[in-house]
Every structure is written in C-alpha cells, then in structure tokens.
C-alpha cells in the first residue's frame, strides 16, 4: 500500500492531507473548550449548532466549489482555501461572543467544503492506474482513522504545556503546512472541460450526474446506510459509556478507538480484496452487515450493564467501523468510474455534498431518538434506515454493470468526432465505450450492455 508514496506529487498531497487533518483534530478539542468557556452549561447546545453549521456549509458550498474548479487552477484554489482555514483558526481564540464562533466555523468549514472535493478530484489524475488509486483511497481512510486516535492524544499532551487557545495556533500551522506542500507539488494539468454554461449550470451538473447514473444513485443510498450506523457511534457513545455503563471518561476513548480500529483493519485489507472481487461485491455485503450489527447493539443497550455487554458493544463498534470503511473507501473508485476526467471536480463535489446531507439527517435523528425513546429504540430505527437504504442500493446498482456500454446516437450528425468507429443501425449510429453522463450522453442507456 505504501508503494504509492514513491510518487512525489502524491506524497506531498497525502502529507498535506495528514497535517491538515491533525490541525482539524486539534481544533475539535480546542473548540469544545472554547464553547465551555463562553457558554458553560450550554456548551453542548453551542457545539451542536456548530456541527449543524458545518454540515450546512458542506452541503451548500461543495457543489459551487466543484463548478469553480475548472475556472480556477486547482493548486491556487486549494492553497487559498488552506490560507482561509488558517486565518479562521487564528481568529477563534479572540472571540468573545457565541455568534462569532458560528461565523468563523462557517468560514472554516466552507473552505474545507471547497478544498476537499478539489483534492479528491486531483488524486485520480496523479495516480491514473486503478491499483494505485485504490491504495491511495485506503491510505486516505487510514489517515482519517489515525487522526481520530492521534489528535486527541496530541491535544491532551499540548494542554499540559500551553493553554487551550494555543491549540488553534497548531490548527493554523497544520493548514499553513498543507498549503506549502500543495505549492510544492507539481499537479497534472486537468483535461479541458467540454461542458458549457455558467457557474450555476456547472454546480448542478454533479447532482444531475448522480441522478442519472445508476451506480451513483446506489452510492448515495449506501452513504445513507453508513450515516445511519455512524451516527449511533458518534452521537450516542458518550451517553452509552457514561450513563448506561457508568464508566469513566477514558472509556469513551476506548469505545471510539474500537470503531477506528475496525475501520483501519478494513482499509488495510481492501486493496487486495477489491482486486479479487470488485466494488459492488464488497460494498453491498458490508452495508447489509450494518442493520444486523445495529439490531445486535439493542441487546446490550437494553439489559443491565455487565462485563459481557460492555465487550459486546466494543465488538459491535469495531464491526461498524469495519463495515463503514468497506463501504466508504471504494466510493472514490465508483465516482471516478462514473465521470469523465474534466467532470471529476463536479462529481466529487456532489458526492461530498450529498453524503454530508445524509449525516445532516441522521445526526439529529440519533440524538432526538436517544433522548426521547432510549438507545435500543434508536438502534432499531436507524438499523431500519440502514436496511432500507441498502435494499435500495441493491435495486439501483445493476449486478451486471460493465464500464463499456453499447449504445446508439441519433442526435449527432454523421462525421461527428465522437462517432469515430461507430457502425450504422436502424436506430442510428452505434458504438461502445466507457459510458458516463456528459454532453453527448445526457441519459443512461436502456440497451443491453456489452461487457468488457
């Protein structure tokens, strides 16, 4: 897996991702402490609102960023967003009102919503070979999981030496280092965009791409299944640990660490597994495991706390992490396969926006249900959501889903460059090639595919 780091450009971009993630992890701890300093007992409400603002920024800004990615050089855009995030982080220690936190969080997360899809769209151009790209996706998953384990420990160590405000300086340093690494990378020149239209037309193209492509509609359904299971972990673990099992605060890190460990183990195994089976054969079974695990979680959450039920929850959290990783990691491969190179920024921006829209639905659902009906009911309801989403994905994603599709053009004149090598048929000129939605293919064909 580490062999892809021999590529200098990817090595610089991956390192930029790691240091930026570390900075973001420090900001998460520092923001919690800042919210408590300003709001005291209402700190949870402040953090909940900040999380909602983060998701709204992700959903609203990412498509616009995807539309701008072919108008602004990608390196310029990513560096500008890193500098914006660094500036917002440096301003956070100086706020005196809660509303100022909200404004700066929106600015920081809007910049992240522009940076991340642009970064994601650049990696398959840096690593065009599918095997290398799959390894890069697994490394990215590992980076996210390691950050969730490493950043809190780093923040705890730093807090023994400096005040919490200095953690934001560490956040800014991470973003500045990321910008420097992006500047030092020699990025490939993106393919020229063929689509016409203004920023709005380009912003909605990614959404249209998802609506028109069967496997991308399935990917969105799988994102909802992951969000349903993941929200149980991220929203309800603290209540489960502290109120149900009556364990110390350190047990929270152990429970979340079990989720991260499961995710990392799956990410390490995926490159070899995907080579043998393929995306659909890995992602759908992993998604079907999620409602089963959530149904099992309802048992230890309903019975009196004991040693066995505590270990059962840790095991369930590890299995959820592994299943979520097995769904999320190949998602980049599915997006890459479903869009032309010039449309990758719009495609990844749409995926970023729509997937976070799923979390925007399941986060409050997990919180409200747990508070009103208890964790067993919450696990059952979100398990049903995950099952329905996975069944929908199975129906939407054809079992026979080749890259090459044979189809007919009746809308292009003879001699059009796109029709080179086509043959006449009663319905028009017919040919086969890797099929994606673009200006020449506005809808998905209904004809029988020719697998290649």
Q: Rounded to two decimals, what is the model's pTM? A: 0.82
Fold of 1-185: Growth Hormone; Chain: A; (1.20.1250)
Tokens of 117: 């899809």
CA–CA distance, 278 with 262 (Å, rounded to integer) = 21
State residue 82's pLDDT score: 96
> For the chain, what percent of residues have pLDDT higher than 70?
91
State residue 449's pLDDT score: 44
Tell me the HSE value of 132 on the side-chain side, using a 13 A CA sphere. Answer: 14
State residue 440's pLDDT score: 82
Tens digit of each residue's pLDDT (9 = 90 or more) over 225-284: 999 999 888 888 877 887 788 887 667 778 878 888 898 899 889 988 998 888 999 999
State residue 450's pLDDT score: 46
Nearby residues of 223 by Cβ (< 8 Å), 6 or more positions away: 327, 328, 331, 351, 354, 355, 358
- The length of the chain in residues reads 452
Is pLDDT of 121 > 80? yes
> For the chain, what percent of residues have pLDDT higher than 90?
36
State residue 143's pLDDT score: 85
What is the average per-residue pLDDT within 9-31?
88
Tens digit of each residue's pLDDT (9 = 90 or more) over 373-414: 888 898 999 999 999 999 999 999 999 888 888 888 877 887
- Architecture of the structural domain at 203-396+434-443: Up-down Bundle (1.20)
State residue 325's pLDDT score: 93
- Asked if the domains at 1-185 and 203-396+434-443 fall in one CATH topology, the answer is yes
Mean pLDDT of the chain: 85
Tens digit of each residue's pLDDT (9 = 90 or more) over 410-448: 778 877 888 888 888 887 788 888 888 888 888 888 755
Tens digit of each residue's pLDDT (9 = 90 or more) over 41-87: 676 567 667 877 888 888 888 887 776 766 788 899 999 999 999 99
What is the average per-residue pLDDT within 85-98?
93
- Identify whether the C-beta of residue 159 lies closer than 8 Å to the C-beta of residue 32: no
Q: Where are the domains of the chain?
A: 1-185, 203-396+434-443
CA–CA distance, 372 with 354 (Å, rounded to integer) = 28
State residue 69's pLDDT score: 66
Nearby residues of 260 by Cβ (< 8 Å), 6 or more positions away: 145, 146, 148, 149, 321
Is pLDDT of 451 > 50? no
Cα angle 335, 341, 346 (rounded to 5 degrees) comes to: 60
- Stretch among 167-176, 259-268, 302-311 having the lowest mean pLDDT: 302-311
């Amino acid at each position: 897996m580490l062999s892809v780091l021999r590529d200098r450009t990817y090595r610089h971009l991956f390192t930029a991702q790691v240091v930026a993630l570390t900075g973001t992890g420090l900001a998460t701890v520092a923001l919690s402490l800042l919210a408590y300093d300003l709001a005291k007992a209402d700190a949870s409400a402040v953090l909940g609102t900040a999380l909602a603002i983060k998701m709204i920024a992700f959903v609203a800004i990412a498509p616009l960023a995807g539309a701008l990615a072919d108008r602004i050089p990608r390196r310029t855009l990513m560096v500008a967003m890193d500098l914006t995030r660094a500036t917002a982080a440096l301003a956070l220690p100086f706020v005196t009102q809660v509303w100022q936190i909200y404004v700066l969080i929106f600015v920081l997360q809007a910049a992240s919503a522009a940076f991340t899809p642009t970064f994601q769209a650049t990696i398959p151009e840096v690593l065009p070979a599918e095997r290398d790209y799959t390894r890069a996706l697994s490394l990215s998953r590992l980076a996210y999981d390691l950050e969730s384990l490493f950043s809190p420990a780093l923040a705890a160590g730093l807090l023994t030496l400096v005040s919490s405000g200095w953690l934001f300086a560490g956040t800014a340093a991470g973003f500045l280092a990321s910008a420097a690494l992006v500047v030092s990378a020699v990025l490939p020149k993106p393919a020229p965009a063929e689509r016409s239209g203004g920023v709005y037309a380009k912003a909605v193209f990614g959404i249209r791409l998802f609506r028109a492509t069967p496997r991308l509609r399935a990917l969105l359904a799988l994102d909802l299944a992951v969000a349903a299971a993941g929200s149980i972990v991220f929203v309800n673990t603290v209540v489960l640990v502290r109120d149900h099992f009556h364990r110390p605060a350190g047990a929270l890190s152990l429970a979340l660490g079990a989720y991260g460990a499961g995710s990392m183990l799956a990410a390490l195994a995926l490159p070899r597994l995907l080579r043998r089976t393929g995306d659909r054969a890995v992602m759908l079974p992993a998604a079907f495991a999620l409602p089963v695990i959530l149904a099992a979680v309802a048992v230890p959450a309903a019975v009196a706390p004991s040693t066995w039920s505590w270990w059962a929850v840790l095991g369930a959290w590890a299995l959820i992490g592994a299943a979520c990783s097995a769904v999320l990691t190949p998602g980049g491969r599915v997006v890459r396969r479903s869009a032309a190179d010039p449309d990758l920024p719009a495609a990844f921006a749409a995926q970023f926006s729509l997937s976070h829209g799923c979390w925007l639905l399941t986060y409050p659902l997990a919180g409200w249900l747990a508070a009103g009906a208890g964790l067993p009911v919450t696990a059952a309801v979100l398990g049903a959501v995950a099952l329905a989403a996975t069944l929908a994905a199975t129906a939407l994603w054809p079992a026979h889903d080749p890259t090459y599709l044979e189809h007919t053009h009746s809308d292009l004149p003879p001699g059009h460059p796109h029709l080179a090598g086509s043959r006449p048929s009663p319905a028009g000129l017919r040919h086969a090639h890797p099929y994606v939605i673009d200006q020449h293919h506005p809808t998905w064909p209904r004809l029988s595919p020719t697998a290649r």
